Structures are given as structure tokens and as C-alpha cells.
């Protein structure tokens, strides 16, 4: 999954700032004026947060590289009966029929941009703008590391669920119902649930919004308002690309939102 590679790149960038993050946390105790009044410090041990981020990304990357060996050759959640007839639920069937593009490949390429490039970039960019508006630029290394940690946990959980659930992707399900269609097997056709693109887009959106709210940035509502619509757009595009069902996208969004909100709130609350 290209999402894994994107997160690895983000983690590498943030790794170079880990020492700076430690300086922000440590020096703020003796120099509280490093952050302006009204902007609380977040509880963070950069070594632990960085270790969790790298470990989660390593797990996700190992699953990605190991697909030829660990990806299920047969579906476990097939949406078909023993007689081969489709048992796809009415919601997924109706949404797919309404939203699949005439050119699914184009939708897939656009979703790569929105989910794997724009979503992380806008999340980090919006948090930086919010910090600048409140003269809290010194907080960026810590904020960015928290966002990366939440996103890494989300994508690792997504990768594990994909292998465990082994749901057939929509295009493969439709092809298998046509006895005349060729049935090329790939190690990606049974990894539909949940949507990884949606998960990463929603996790970075919710993590950046949660961090902005915990920091009490004046532009926190704007951080939320730019990230969430982009994540929803990514999910819609993944359905249009015929790569995921509606329920796959909903599950990815919920997983990403849970990670993006709970990781900062539970592990890095304001001091």
C-alpha cells in the first residue's frame, strides 16, 4: 500500500526533528515563555512516541512487503454463497452502482493524491498555520510527532484488519460473477476491508484537529474544517475507483477517526 510508504517518509522527516521536540518539552519547564500564554504544553516523551510510530510503520511495511506470502489467497468475507451467487448487502450494492466512475482508474489516481499526499500535507500545513497565528511555532515538532504517531497506529491497524478479514474487492467480486471473465489472482484482491486511503486521511485530519483543540489554537475550527472534507472526498473516490465498498470506507473512516482523536487525548493530554 502506497499509504505505508508515505507514512514512512513522514516519519523520517519527523525523526530528524525528534531532538528538537525533546528540547521543546524539556526547556519549556524552565522557560515557560517558549510557548505563549494560553497555549498549554502537551505531555510527550519523544523517544516513546517516536518508537511507537516507527514500530507501527514497520509492522505495516512488513505486511505490505510480505503480501505474496501472507495475503489470503482466498477470501474469508466473500459476499457470495456456496452456489457462487452474490450475497452482497443492499447498501453496498446500491452505493457501488450509484458512485462507481466510468473510469475507475482515474478515480483511483485522484484518491492517491487526496488521501496519500494532500491529506498529510494539509494536516501538517494547517497545524503550522494555526501555530503561527498564535505565535506558537515552537510547538510544531511536538504537534507533528503526535499526528504522525496517531496516523501510524491507524495504518498499522488497517493493514492487520485487511489480512484478517480478507474481503473481496468490489471489482474482483463483480468479475468473479461473470463466468466468461478471466480471473487473474493477485495478492491484493482480498484486502478490501477497511479502506486504507480513508483511514490515513481521516486519522491525520482528526489528529491535527484534536491537537489544535488541545493546544487551544484560535484557528482550531479551521484545522478541523479543511481536513475532514478531504478525508470524506477520499472515501468517495475509493468507492468511485471500485476498490472499496461503502462499508469498507465507513470502517476506514471510523478507525482513522478513533486513532486520530484517542491517541492525542489519551496519551498526550495538555499538562
Expressed in angstroms, the distance from the first to the final Cα of the chain is 37
The Cα 165–Cα 254 span in angstroms is 16
pLDDT tens by residue, 15-25? 444 434 444 44
Answer yes or no: is pLDDT of 256 > 60.
yes
For 124-158, the DSSP string reads HHHHHHHHHHTT-GGGHHHHHHHHHHHHHHHHHHH
Q: What is the mean pLDDT of residues 75-87?
A: 86
Which tens digits make up the pLDDT trace of 194-214?
Answer: 999 999 999 999 999 999 999
User: What's the pLDDT at 138?
Assistant: 93
pLDDT in tens, 50-74: 999 999 999 999 999 998 899 888 8
pLDDT tens digits for range 169-189? 999 998 877 655 556 567 789
The residues, any chain, with a CB within 8 Å of residue 106's CB and separated by 6 or more, are none
pLDDT at residue 271, rounded to an integer: 85
Q: Is the pLDDT of residue 36 over 70?
A: yes
**20-44 average pLDDT score:** 63
Among 135, 131, 141, residue whose Cα is nearest residue 22: 141
- DSSP bridge pairs for 86: 80
The C-alpha atoms of residue 31 and residue 245 are separated, in whole angstroms, by 51
Amino acid at each position: 500500500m502506497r499509504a505505508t510508504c508515505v507514512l514512512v517518509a513522514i516519519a523520517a522527516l519527523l525523526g530528524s526533528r525528534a531532538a528538537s521536540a525533546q528540547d521543546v518539552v524539556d526547556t519549556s519547564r524552565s522557560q515557560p515563555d517558549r510557548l505563549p500564554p494560553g497555549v498549554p504544553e502537551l505531555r510527550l516523551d519523544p523517544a516513546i512516541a517516536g518508537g511507537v510510530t516507527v514500530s507501527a510503520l514497520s509492522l505495516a511495511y512488513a505486511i505490505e512487503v510480505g503480501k505474496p506470502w501472507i495475503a489470503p489467497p482466498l477470501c474469508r468475507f466473500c459476499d457470495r454463497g456456496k452456489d457462487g451467487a452474490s450475497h452482497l448487502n443492499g447498501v453496498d450494492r446500491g452505493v457501488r452502482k450509484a458512485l462507481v466512475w466510468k473510469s475507475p482508474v482515474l478515480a483511483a489516481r485522484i484518491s492517491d493524491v487526496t488521501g496519500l499526499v494532500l491529506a498529510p500535507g494539509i494536516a501538517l500545513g494547517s497545524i503550522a498555520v494555526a501555530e503561527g497565528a498564535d505565535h506558537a511555532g515552537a510547538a510544531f515538532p511536538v504537534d507533528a510527532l503526535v499526528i504522525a504517531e496517531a496516523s501510524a497506529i491507524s495504518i498499522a491497524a488497517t493493514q492487520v484488519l485487511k489480512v484478517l478479514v480478507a474481503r473481496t474487492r468490489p471489482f474482483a467480486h463483480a468479475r468473479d460473477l461473470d463466468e466468461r471473465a478471466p480471473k487473474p489472482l493477485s495478492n491484493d484482491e482480498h484486502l478490501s476491508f477497511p479502506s486504507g486511503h480513508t483511514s490515513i486521511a481521516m486519522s491525520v485530519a482528526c489528529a491535527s484537529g484534536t491537537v489544535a483543540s488541545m493546544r487551544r489554537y484560535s484557528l482550531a475550527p479551521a484545522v478541523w474544517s479543511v481536513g475532514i472534507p478531504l478525508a470524506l472526498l477520499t472515501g468517495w473516490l475509493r468507492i468511485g475507483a471500485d476498490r472499496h465498498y461503502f462499508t469498507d470506507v465507513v470502517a476506514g473512516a471510523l478507525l482513522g477517526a478513533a486513532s486520530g482523536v484517542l491517541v492525542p487525548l489519551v496519551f498526550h493530554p495538555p499538562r
